Amino acid sequence: MGRAVASTGKVAALDLGEVRTGVAISDAGRTLARPVEIVPSGEIEAYLRMLAAEEDVAEVVVGVPKTMNGVVGFQARRVLSRIDALEDTLPGIRFVRWDERLTTRIAAATKGRRGGKKGERRLDHLAAAGMLQEYLDGEAGGSS
């Protein structure tokens, strides 16, 4: 939204959920995404502070769950509100809102898992990595 792209530091991605958040991080060259872990959503601010300090994260891509028609519904509004709050408390980090409509489905198909609470928990960080890889690929192509 008009902010300059951070040219140094790693990029992280969040698949932000009500209970848990999947986290992924890029390599230093900002070309490859890897899933990191799943963090309780209530602890994400402290976790991002740690990533910024220990992993040199300067930018965070956050999935916004629009409907398949591209509408910003209840869940997307909740995530956008959470991003606004994180921007206020973590001003040194650039936040990017990313359309993540198909990311979780792609992660599920990749791992061959369907349904069940246990399987879903395992997908959060994979969905974040898929989203981050899309972002990094677009950034490399100059279309960020």
Is 114 a residue whose pLDDT tops 80? no
Position 8 pLDDT exceeds 70: yes
Q: In this predicted structure, what is the pLDDT of residue 140? A: 73
pLDDT digits (tens, 9 = 90+) for 10-27: 999 999 999 999 999 999
Residue pair 82/14 in contact by the 8 Å Cβ criterion = no
Q: Which residue has the tokens 């359309």?
A: 99
Domain that holds residue 31: 10-136
Query: In this structure, is residue 20 part of a structural domain?
Result: yes
Report yes or no on 71 lying in a domain. yes
pLDDT of 94: 97
Structural domains counted in the chain: 1
User: What token pair was written down for 119?
Assistant: 């399987």
141 domain residue, yes or no: no
CB-facing half-sphere around the CA of 14: CA atoms within 13 A? 30
Q: Which one has a higher pLDDT value, 109 or 138?
A: 138
- The CATH number of the domain holding residue 115 is 3.30.420.140
- Residue 5 in any domain: the answer is no
Whether 33 is covered by a domain: the verdict is: yes
In a domain, residue 143? The reply is no
Residue 51 forms part of a structural domain: yes
Number of C-beta neighbours around residue 141 at 10 A:
8
Q: Is 104 contained in some domain? A: yes
What is the percentage of the chain residues whose pLDDT exceeds 90? Answer: 60
